Structure 1
């Protein structure tokens, strides 16, 4: 009966599912529930992105490139928060970057995995966003400003987020709330009487990893040592405190750039950028500028969309030189050869090269140009 699709009853059931599936991992100091009459800052681009809430297999295979109009009558997490705060007499401001003019009483940062389905979502480790630390940087910035931080994490699976947990006062695993983002606000905020309207009822259906290489983590296995056990989930009655967590990435662990090898003028962690010059060797670049051993190739930071978010490479053409983006540990990209993947490089040519320029990939004993 297609007439039932999009019915008020259907939306209500979906919203209830969101309310009951949120898992409270951390609530130090009893930051939650929030008072709706407060000045609330909502940050993170995921806060107003229904497609990211929905995940893969939503409208399209991977759930990507779906505009807001693709989810008619859906509510984003931000819209739900805005509605709840307005109803409570408070003020809610949405700033994707976390910028604010008046210091807020609390910040809600919504972040997490971008949509994926099978294959594109495969990762060699459990680390969240190994090649992009903007989310944890935002959490740390707000916390350093003395603002209580509530993290709302969107993901299709438990992930190693020790750094993000450390940078948050409260941490909610929201998984994928789909079209009913307003259900998140239903649980985060108290009523006008200051008491919770909806308590946290969600429990972990998978163990939560303590390390990024904790691939086998089953409750009945010997030496079971998760960060949060299977079935874990705090309620508002709990007073448990999550202490400081180890953020150390195990040495020699598989490299995972999440498909990104160079962005905003930098390479991901566990990768390196070098300027090479034939038999003269190479120079590893640490800052924004540098040169190859003989000076045939130089690098400098330039502004593209933001301050020093791109790099300019200048080649004299006097001798062979190369820009190298190298993994510091073994990297298996065999699976990429089986999918419809392309390598995308955005560049601008300021002057025509005086000699041949090639793009190549190499591993010991093998080179493809």
Structure 2
């Protein structure tokens, strides 16, 4: 028994769990709206506009400029709200990042970045790190607002008290558009499967597993509601599950494709009547998307059922006085019902001296071998504690515990 214990200790050293506090801030979209900049921003940053204007400025063969190729297919940074702190290099240089289960790369701004956005964010100084290794390759990530471009390197990354050695990451040298200027976060840390990575090499959590620095091959998210007393505002637990953050039972769902965290969904019901995905479909559990996304034709029908009115910037308004009369929307996953009321799926934003209410559903068309995909973003994950199990390739969902005001 003693020999077995010593063997286990020698092969899984330094194992631990680490809590990463997450901060919630107004979305970039809300900030642009408050400043009166949203409509002009969206006109200038249509998904195809940037490539038409600037594709020739990038080196030939840049992977994410290829037709129908985008490594960040569903990462919605304009609505991203939750972020936490990491450090890169020796001595450590601190950065705030979105912990994104919808992508697999890590990138932060470079000290050589020429964009206005970088001037307003913390930038990585490779020449100040004694553990930095230059890679030489370039990378590109295509967002709706344009094309982020940079160079690759390897260095020590620290998250809480955990240290990951020789982590591949990107230093952005060009960040497009005013949205990154407004962003409160510096970069992105992807937590999806390695096959989704644009930057070749192991994602951060894969390296944590390979270097045996977590107790379990699991990480979990708690996202708070919009309450003044929410503490924590959100939390990522690497290496385990926090039983204080949810109410049992946990419903476990197998991953159906190892790229995104993709699961099977039986149907989507409105007020108890199966209305969408009636023959079954697939969904992505994604902390990098604030809203709930789905195929355009189904989302437009859903907006009609909610009485939501389209705006000229692609959002859907709901009369705030009608919230109590709106129907429940229920997602059937693994035979269990996950029900959201209007208080859950409507986003209320202050605009001047009044409140605006927006539908928490958006149209996003993602085609996969399994058919059109739905996206369960933060609107859904705020209500359900989410557990991502790489050891057994499954996702656990349980009712989150929220304080009341």
TM range (shorter): under 0.3
TM-score (norm 2): 0.26
| TM-score (ref. length: structure 1) | 0.28
Q: Which has the higher strand share?
A: 2
